Every structure is written in structure tokens, then in C-alpha cells.
Amino acid sequence: MKAAHRRFPLFSSIPSWLLATLFLGCIATWHMVRSESYGVIFSALTRGLYTTLYVSLIAYAAATALGLLFGLMRISSNRVIREVATFYIEIVRGIPMLIILYYIAFVGAPSLVKGLNWVASPLIEAGLFDKISVRDISFVVRAILALTLGYSAFIAEIFRAGIESIPSGQMEAAIASGMSRRQAMQHVILPQAIRTVLPPLANDFVAMIKDSALVSALGVQDITQLGKVYSASTFQFFETYNVVALLYLALTLSLTLGVRVLEKRLDTSR
């Protein structure tokens, strides 16, 4: 048994429940491959898989950048900046993601269009620009914006916790060596904090993959929406949602395994 663990260290680190899930997933995949109807359903949902990944990747990249900004504002020595960041984080974290999606799609987007048209009104009257319509902002863009705002609040807290986990003496030593506070944060504190927060950031990406199913409420053609449309037109609800569930499981479990490998590498390199 020990020799097997030495030969296959990755499998020895995988919990039993995950191995059982992978085994059942392989059986389900084999059954679906043999069935003609499942093959048709899978082909119909392939475009939704691309949309799910596209929305999740762009939204998460933007949420990480915005979360880092608010995380830095959260620990600022300026009270006004700190309170603004705290207000944003607490408000956004207290609202369900589905409500944020609806709010951005049907309230935020029209308000943004009105504001842009008002700012650009002199140019529009001069004929240099056309007036923007709400329809010019697709629901995919609105969904990405909503996921970005919703997850940035949680990511901001992850960055704040990671930065505050670094001993304050390192900041003092960097400043004493001639660095400014900004330089010390950029070259000393942040590199260590990012290494600490990588696993929770990866876990948040897994959560976003699952929450991206909510964008189907806006009619975005992701896995869930295409599955809903296909099952309603063919009445193959059991088969369709089996494929939908399997696709999400394949995405989340592969990312979960990646997170575990990342955590172990970070632990061994410390």
C-alpha cells in the first residue's frame, strides 16, 4: 500500500468521496456516450459550455482586479477611503447574487445608458456620436458586470485577510530601508499575500462557475439556459438535466483537483 502511495501520490491525496464521485461520473459518461439521445443533447449544450466559461473567466478576472482595489482601500490609513470600501463590501455581500443580476440588468444598465448619453449630449447634438440605446448593452455584458460586482466584495475580503496576515514588522522594515509605503506594499507585502490567498481565490472561481448558472435568468445562452430550452422542446427533462449536471460537475471537480494540487505545492514550498 505504501509503495502504491509512492507511485501515485496524487491519488493518495484524493479523498474517498471524490474518488467515488469520479467513478460514478465515469460510469454516467460511458452510459451517455453509448446513448444516441445523450449525444444529441450534449451537442446541443456545447455552445452553452463555451458561454459559461467565457462569462466566468472574464467576470472573475475583473472581480479579482476590483476586489484587490477594494481590499487595499479597506486597509487604507485614510478613514474616508476605508469607510467607502467597507460600505461597498458590506452592502454587496448582503444582497443575493440573483438580485444583483436583476438590478444590474434592468436598473443599472438603463441608468448607465442615460448617464452616458447625458455626458456625451454635446457630441451627440453635433453629430459626432450616435445616441446609445439600452439594447446596445447585451445581457451577456450585463451578466458579466453583475458577477464582477457581486464577487469583488468577497474577493476584497480575501485580499484584506491575506494582507493583514503578513506581520506588520515587514512593512516597518521595508519603510526603514528607504521604501515608501506604496513600494513596500507592492514589492514586499503583496507578493506574500497573493501566495497566501491563491487557494481561496481558486475556490471562489469554482463558486463562480456554479453561480454563473444564474445568468440563465437573463436569457443568456449558457449551459443551464440551453438545457432549459432543449428539455422544454423535447420533454427529455431527465436526460437533459443529467447532461447539465455532468458538465457542471466536470468543470467544478477538475478545478477542485487543481486547487488541491496548488495548495499542496504551496505547503511544501514554504
194 located within any domain: yes
- Considering the chain, what percentage of its residues have pLDDT values greater than 70? 88
Residue-wise DSSP of 84-126 = HHHHHHHHHHTS-HHHHHHHIIIIIHHHHHHHHHHHTHHHHHT
Whether 24 shows a pLDDT value over 90: the answer reads: no
Whether 125 shows a pLDDT value over 90: the answer reads: no
Q: Is 19 or 59 the better-scoring residue by pLDDT?
A: 59
Residue ranges making up the domain that contains 130: 54-219
244 located within any domain: no
Mean of pLDDT values over 49-73: 93
What CATH number does the domain containing 188 carry? Answer: 1.10.3720.10
pLDDT of residue 167: 84
Lowest pLDDT segment from 38-47, 80-89, 231-240, 258-267: 258-267
253 located within any domain: no
CB 52 within 8 A of CB 223: yes
- Per-residue model confidence as pLDDT tens digits over 152-177: 999 999 999 988 888 878 888 888 88
Q: Is the model's pTM score more than 0.75?
A: yes
Q: Structural domain tally of the chain?
A: 1
Q: Is 180 or 52 the better-scoring residue by pLDDT?
A: 52
15 located within any domain: no
104 located within any domain: yes
pLDDT of residue 56: 93
CB 212 within 8 A of CB 222: yes
Q: Average model confidence (pLDDT) for the chain?
A: 84
Mean of pLDDT values over 129-158: 90
257 located within any domain: no
Whether 124 shows a pLDDT value over 80: the answer reads: no
65 located within any domain: yes
pLDDT of residue 133: 82
Which element (helix H / strand E) includes 18? helix 16-34
**Most confident range, picked from 96-110, 112-126, 187-201:** 96-110
pLDDT of residue 33: 67
- Considering the chain, what percentage of its residues have pLDDT values greater than 90? 32
261 located within any domain: no
